[in-house]
């Protein structure tokens, strides 16, 4: 593959393959969805052509600078220790409340109950900031004072340390918000 193979239009972040490989192929959507292409373009402002190698290098740099890594499914030992803690108790005295969704799905689910919509929204705002920092986004929905969350790592098709870390933080946020409101 040469630098002529992949052209990046920096104004629209559009990818065109000159050799007839469709930009909807299996490789390109992952690069585009992860925001890697946009980041690569902005780092190389003015550059009209980039090789796929440059895009992959930009991704590696991004991963190294943001302290993220390719997640892997929890080992049986990690699963036992981490999930037991989440399923039986939460941080700050809150019930862990997480449920394992096996066998349908290797994921965990919890419904958080707050005093009102504002408190639920505050919780979601805190989690949204965390999700961006971790580059790990929950599946969730909100109805008035209730927030339903499902955590799984799509990259490894199962539960990872990212899910455990996020679930633990969510329990902490829940505890802080509920104690602030009560106290």
pLDDT of residue 70: 78
Q: For the chain, which domains are there?
A: 6-65 (no CATH), 76-182 (3.30.1360.20)
pLDDT the model gives residue 132: 96
Q: What is the pLDDT of residue 134?
A: 94
Predicted local distance difference test score (pLDDT) of residue 181: 64
**Helices 161-182, 117-134: inter-axial angle, 10-degree rounding:** 150
Q: What is the pLDDT of residue 8?
A: 44
Residue 180 pLDDT: 77
Please tell me the predicted confidence (pLDDT) of residue 2: 42
pLDDT in tens, 28-47: 444 444 444 444 444 444 44
- Which residues in the chain show pLDDT less than 50? 1-51, 53, 55-68, 90-93
Task: Tell how far CA 62 is from the center of its chain.
Answer: 15
Separation CA 150–CA 141 (nearest Å): 9
Question: In whole angstroms, how far apart are CA 109 and each of 5, 57, 112?
Answer: 44, 35, 10
Residue 53 pLDDT: 46
Quick one: pLDDT at residue 55? 46
């Amino acid at each position: 593959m040469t630098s002529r193979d992949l052209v990046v239009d920096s104004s629209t972040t559009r990818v065109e393959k000159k050799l007839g490989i469709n930009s909807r192929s299996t490789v390109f959507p992952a690069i585009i969805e992860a925001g890697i292409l946009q980041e690569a373009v902005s780092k190389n402002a003015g550059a009209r052509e980039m090789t796929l190698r440059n895009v992959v290098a930009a991704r590696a740099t991004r991963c190294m600078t943001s302290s993220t890594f390719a997640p892997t499914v929890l080992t049986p030992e990690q699963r036992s220790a981490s999930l037991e803690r989440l399923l039986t108790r939460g941080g700050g005295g809150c019930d862990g409340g997480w449920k394992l969704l096996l066998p349908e799905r290797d994921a965990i689910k919890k419904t958080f109950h707050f005093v009102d919509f504002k408190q639920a929204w505050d919780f979601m705002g805190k989690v949204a900031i965390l999700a961006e920092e971790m580059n790990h986004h929950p599946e969730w929905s909100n109805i008035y004072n209730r927030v339903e969350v499902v955590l799984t790592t799509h990259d490894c098709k199962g539960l990872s340390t990212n899910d455990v870390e996020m679930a633990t933080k969510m329990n902490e946020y829940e505890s802080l918000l509920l104690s602030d409101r009560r106290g």
